[in-house]
Structure formats: structure tokens, C-alpha cells
Amino acid sequence: MKTKLSFTEIQQAIADLQDDLYSQLKLEANEALLKFPAFLGRGYLRGIRLREGLDLHVQEYVLKTDLFLHAQNFSLETTCASLTFCLSGRFRSTFPSVSSEITMQSRGAAFYTSPYAAGTLEFKAGEHIHFVEITIMPALVLSLIGQELAELPQNLRQAIQSGASEHAIHLCDTSAEMTHILHKIIHCPYHGQIRDVYLEGKVLELIALYFSQFCPFSSPLSVQSSALLKPKEHQEIERLYESREILKENLMTPPTLAELSKRVGLSERQLQKGFQELFGTTVFAVLHHDRMEYARQLLETGQISVGAIADMVGISHRGYFAQAFKRKFGRTPKEYMKQFGKT
């Protein structure tokens, strides 16, 4: 049964939604983090300013209901290009003013420019949505790949040269090399300025890989690097990342090494060796890192007790949890909560 709301009730509902969203918003010097309120679902939106004209956005969430975001046709004060990679789930964007549409799903990528915001974004309930978006000013694109501009498709070349004042879309698949870098971004082990330097390097690497598909012989290294990994090795890398995702999704009760090995189709030796080569550490150390990172995110909400968080990340001994967290972040869990005004 549908309920008809008065205009005043609708205004109040919007105000309540804004208050709830704002309470979940964390702002820092070059970063914004928005955690979804419970009534929408679970997940987060994170934006990081890497340098002037270059931003990184990571979004991961599961919605409780279908979501449709409508934007009216209005000009943007500052136009930019967007390079988006979908790691999980799918969504659809429509641009009726130019009769254009983007449908993205896992392992898809899209580069697009638009001088105005208009259209609809559609997200389905219950789907694990996870994507990485790079927004970049056209002037920065020109400074990075200006000499290769002639190799680009005409619509992309014109859109970039015009300062993104024209609408252009290019869809492609995410290569194994791109996937490798995307996971490096998502699982960045650093903090502070070191993190920002690391992420900027990876983002620039992604941009280079995307544009290299139009000019594959622009560098002799590109010819050599394409032969470095054989198809079988690509599959093994993907299974190693799958292993990490399985660990991340089962922090409370993680599988044993034997169980993990069986699930992804790699031997225990391949897992151990692969984790050392790909992540620079052991399977257990990766699990420990992800536990601490998730605990940090939960502590920042201030809505869950330290003991409950320890249970949620699979550490039953409170003293060990406090010691491990302090070794990782330099503060005990309670001290960490206090810096966000939580007790």
C-alpha cells in the first residue's frame, strides 16, 4: 500500500535524509568518506584529491532497495573526464539529451566526458557494487599524453581538445594488468602522504594503460611487457586476488589455507608463493592487515563497542586485539575512537 505524503512531509523526509547522510560523512584535508546509513544499505563512498585536476573515487556497497539517481540538464562549472572501472556488480547510466547510454558490469571500463549533468543512474538492490573512478581535467590529460593524441578515436580526441565541452564515451574491457593495479589501489597498505604518493602513481599507471590500447607501439616496453605474462599466469593472478577477496569477506571465520586452496583451484604452495610475490607478504599477514583495516573503519563510526568489533574481525582475545591494533596504527582502539570524538 502506498502512502501519499504532503509537501511538508516530503520536505521533512529530505531534511532527515540529509542529516543522516551528513552524520556519516568524514572530511579531511584531501579526502571525503561517506558511509551508507543503515536504511540505504551498507558500504561507503571515498574520494581522494591526489593533485589539482586529478581525483580518485572508490565506491563499494550493497543496497537494500533499487536506487535511481536523476540529474536535470544543467551545465557544469568545471568539466572533467572520467575513467571508471567496474570490479563487481553492474549499473546503467542514461543520457537522454544525447541519446546515449552506458551499461557497466564486472571487468568493464568506460572513459567519458560531458559538459553537463543530465541523465539517470540505476543501481539494483542486493548486488555487490564495487568500482573505481578517476576524474581528470582535460588539460592534465593533454599534458600527459599530448604527443599521442592523434592516435585516439576522433570523438575522444575532440572531447579532450575541447576541454570536455563535448560528450564522448568509450567502453572497453579491463585488462589483467589494469585489474592488478586496481587491486593494488584498493588494498593500499600505506597511510598519510605516503599513501597519496603511492595512489597517484597507480592512478597514472592506469591512465597510461588505458590510453596505450590506442597506441600500442608508442613505447618499446609495451611490446615486451605484453609478453611477460602468459594466459595461465593471468589466471593465477586473478585467483590470488579472488583468494584475498574471500579472506576479506570472511574475516570473522576465515577458511584454512587448505580450504582456500580448494576454493580457488590453486595448491597451498602456489597460494603462499603467489601472496609473497603479489602482495609482498604471507596469507596470514594479509588476513591480519585486512582485519585491522576493517576494525579501523568500524571504530570510526563510533557506533560499535571495541569488544564487538574484535569479534567482528575474528579476534576473540581483547588484549591481543588492542595490542595488534596499536602496533598497526600507533593507538589503542579506544584512543583511536576518541580522535573522532567518540568514546
**Burial of 272 by CB count in 10 Å (0-12 exposed, 13-18 middle, 19+ buried)?**
middle
Place of cell 583468494: 243
Place of cell 589494469: 178
Mean of the pLDDT values across residues 63-79?
A: 63
- 164-178 confidence digits (pLDDT tens): 677 788 888 888 788
**Is 218 or 330 the better-scoring residue by pLDDT?**
330
Q: What is residue 207's predicted lDDT score, i.e. its pLDDT?
A: 93
Q: What is residue 78's predicted lDDT score, i.e. its pLDDT?
A: 54
Q: pTM of the predicted model, to two decimals?
A: 0.63
Q: How far is CA 189 from CA 49, 161, 225, in A?
A: 18, 37, 25
Q: What is residue 92's predicted lDDT score, i.e. its pLDDT?
A: 74
**Is 233 or 277 the better-scoring residue by pLDDT?**
277
Confidence of residue 220 (pLDDT cuts 50, 70, 90): very low
- 234-268 confidence digits (pLDDT tens): 678 888 888 988 998 899 999 999 999 999 999 99
Q: For every residue of 173-229, which 3-state class applies, written as one string?
A: ECCHHHHHHHHHHHCCCCCHHHHHHHHHHHHHHHHHHHHHCCCCCCCHHHHHHCCCC
- The cell numbers describing 220, all together, are 618499446
Domains in the chain with CATH codes: 16-216 (2.60.120.280), 231-338 (1.10.10.60)
Q: How far is CA 249 from CA 39, 130, 257, in A?
A: 21, 14, 15
Whole-number Å distance between alpha carbons of 157 and 107: 24
Mean of the pLDDT values across residues 300-320?
A: 89
Q: What is residue 228's predicted lDDT score, i.e. its pLDDT?
A: 45
**Is 16 or 113 the better-scoring residue by pLDDT?**
113
CB 111 within 8 A of CB 133: no
